[in-house]
Structure 1
Amino acid sequence: MFLSRQSILIFPLLAMLVVSKPFEETNEHHIEKRAIKAGPDTLIIVPPITNRNKWPRVVATGMIQIPIAIRTTDYSREELAVFHQGMADIQNKTCVRFVNRTSQPDYVFVRDAGQGKCGALIGKVGGIQYLSLTPACMRIRKKCIHEMVHILGFHHMHQRFDRDHFLDIKWGNIKEANKFAFARYDNKWEAYGTGYDPWSCMHYTRKGFSKNTFDTIVPKNKEWLDVIGTQLTLSKGDATRINRMYECPHPYT
């Protein structure tokens, strides 16, 4: 059963799911944490996502199923409606389907962590998996989709293995605490035969985490300056990569 707008707005508050772990333990990808002191020469090895870290397929339909629950008291009806739009975008372009979590042991729990941060782990990790969205993030469809694509198993586009052919990272303009988010990954496997994608919803903006209002990411193709990080939803490339990772059936291939 696909999530409807009505169902997403009436998830009950689950008292048993009150967050007790620090945000950093539950939401920062462990590979990124190894890159805290990242710089121009940093290259982080990223092992391929295996079947263990992919969300399961429903044999009867061929669709990928992700159980989800939301602590609705953290958000307004309008904010939840935006999140619903983000899920619908993913469902319309891929074989991923979000369903109400009932008793599934592996599921996504959406809530505001209360620390002013938004984030998610990469791929399925097992058990309860937090997707942290502040109300401000929940009001922006692209940010909702960005974090959900992390949960599907994808990293940032601007950290892709070949990004230095397309971008200049301005390390001197990046906030020190956020340099880890600009480390380059050795993740050619994650391209799934697609080229560098400035339209990806997984791309930061040109001034992402700037400490001085100057650009932190400068595309070599200047026509991309006002493209990167500005897309509302999945790019064609984003949808292709998801469908190829999860071996989606026709008509999504």
Structure 2
Amino acid sequence: MMPIIFTVLLLSITAVSSVPKDRNGGEETNTSTLDNIEQANANLLSKQFSTSDIHSAPAGSISHLTYGDIMTDIIDDDGIVSNAVPCTSGSCLWNKTGNEVLVPYRITGFSGREKRIIQNAMNDLESGTCIRFVRKSKSDSSFVTFISGTGCWSYLGRQEGGQQISLQKNGCLFKDIVQHEILHALGYHHEQVRSDRDDNVIINFENIISGRENNFAIATTNNLDTDYDFNSVMHYGQFAFSKNGLATITPISSAVTEFGTATEMSANDFLRVNRLYQCFS
């Protein structure tokens, strides 16, 4: 098996996504995943959470959202405040047993119908990858807990100990959002912050809500020789965090007329999970 060295995990392959015309059997929509996440998280982006609010946060720490929906922990150590490492090495990958990557999980605070939405999103991801979601056992030290919290958010990559994925009942229980947050937990960042994004899009900072510019900061990424993917469920919409209704993201290629509207993982989202975890090596 070839070694993989990561800074922040991000993969993408350009291709046309095969997605349904609606989110959950409703009318056709062009609303982007990030538009819906942005709306659900509107009151959280400037909020800091105490340890009691985020159960997976280290003791004595506070947490906050970055990039719109990625939760990070800040630890005050002898007066020094620093961001916890979100996903900077292969250690944030989930463990692989044989040919399968096992992700222990539990679901709390949801009705049967709501649980099925989450479960169906996981089943779909499993169908095209070697990721296997398994019920958490007492012996599992690292696991994901799906909670009906405030907003839609996840940590980036596997964290030591239990970690949460928040899926607010009113706003986050859609297949694309569930898969988006799971992909964060598997180690994926947003598409438009990868290291080569300026070769593919123009960020119109003059149109971004004041104080939200850091959501568009380029991350240090290892793209593993893969192309930028406008069809990824991890891509922001054209008007993400717009203060004036004008585009915040403009494709450099005039051939790209729509992006950020995926209603489920694209074929390339599946492919990059398989590459990241060497599913078929």
1:157 match: 191
Relative CO higher for 1 or 2, CA cutoff 8 Å, sep ≥ 6? 2
Shift of residue 186 of structure 1? 2.3
- TM-score, normalised relative to structure 2: 0.68
% same residue: 28
1:194–1:237 Cα contact (<8 Å) kept: no
1:49 aligns with 2:86: no
1:145–1:233 Cα contact (<8 Å) kept: yes
Shift of residue 47 of structure 1? 7.1
The aligned amino acid for 1:68 is Y
Shift of residue 234 of structure 1? 1.7
CA distance in 1, matches of 2:97, 2:229: 30
1:107 match: 143
2:125 match: 90
1:65 aligns with 2:99: no
1:81 match: 116
Extract unaligned runs of 5+ from structure 1: 1-18, 34-45
Extract unaligned runs of 5+ from structure 2: 1-50, 75-85
CA distance in 2, matches of 1:209, 1:140: 20
Shift of residue 220 of structure 1? 1.7
The aligned amino acid for 1:58 is T
Q: Secondary structure at the match of 1:224?
A: coil
1:219 aligns with 2:221: no
2:201–2:249 Cα contact (<8 Å) kept: yes
For residues 127-154 of structure 1, give each alpha carbon's deviation from its aligned partner in whole angstroms, at most 9, with x where no partner exists. Answer: 1101111113443111110110000011
- Which of 185, 189, 199 is the equivalent residue of 2:231? 199
CA distance in 2, matches of 1:158, 1:67: 29
Shift of residue 238 of structure 1? 1.7
- TM-score, normalised relative to structure 1: 0.75
Shift of residue 113 of structure 1? 2.4
CA distance in 2, matches of 1:153, 1:123: 4
Alignment of structure 1 residues 227-242 onto 2, 5 Å:
228-242=259-273
1:27–1:131 Cα contact (<8 Å) kept: no
Higher helix proportion (structure 1 or 2) = 1
CA distance in 2, matches of 1:90, 1:173: 35
For residues 181-210 of structure 1, give each alpha carbon's deviation from its aligned partner in whole angstroms, at most 9, with x where no partner exists. Answer: 2111221x1x22210100111101111122
Q: Secondary structure at the match of 1:142?
A: helix
> RMSD across aligned C-alpha pairs, in angstroms?
2.6
1:181 aligns with 2:218: no
CA distance in 2, matches of 1:98, 1:234: 17
Shift of residue 30 of structure 1? 7.3
- Which of 157, 170, 173 is the equivalent residue of 1:123? 157
Higher strand proportion (structure 1 or 2) = 2
2:152–2:172 Cα contact (<8 Å) kept: no
Q: Secondary structure at the match of 2:170?
A: helix
CA distance in 1, matches of 2:211, 2:237: 17
| Structure-2 change in CA distance of 1:177 and 1:225 (3 Å) | farther
- Which of 230, 243, 249 is the equivalent residue of 2:274? 243
CA distance in 2, matches of 1:96, 1:32: 26
For residues 155-175 of structure 1, give each alpha carbon's deviation from its aligned partner in whole angstroms, at most 9, with x where no partner exists. Answer: 110101111111111112222
| Structure-2 change in CA distance of 1:47 and 1:134 (3 Å) | closer
The aligned amino acid for 2:278 is E
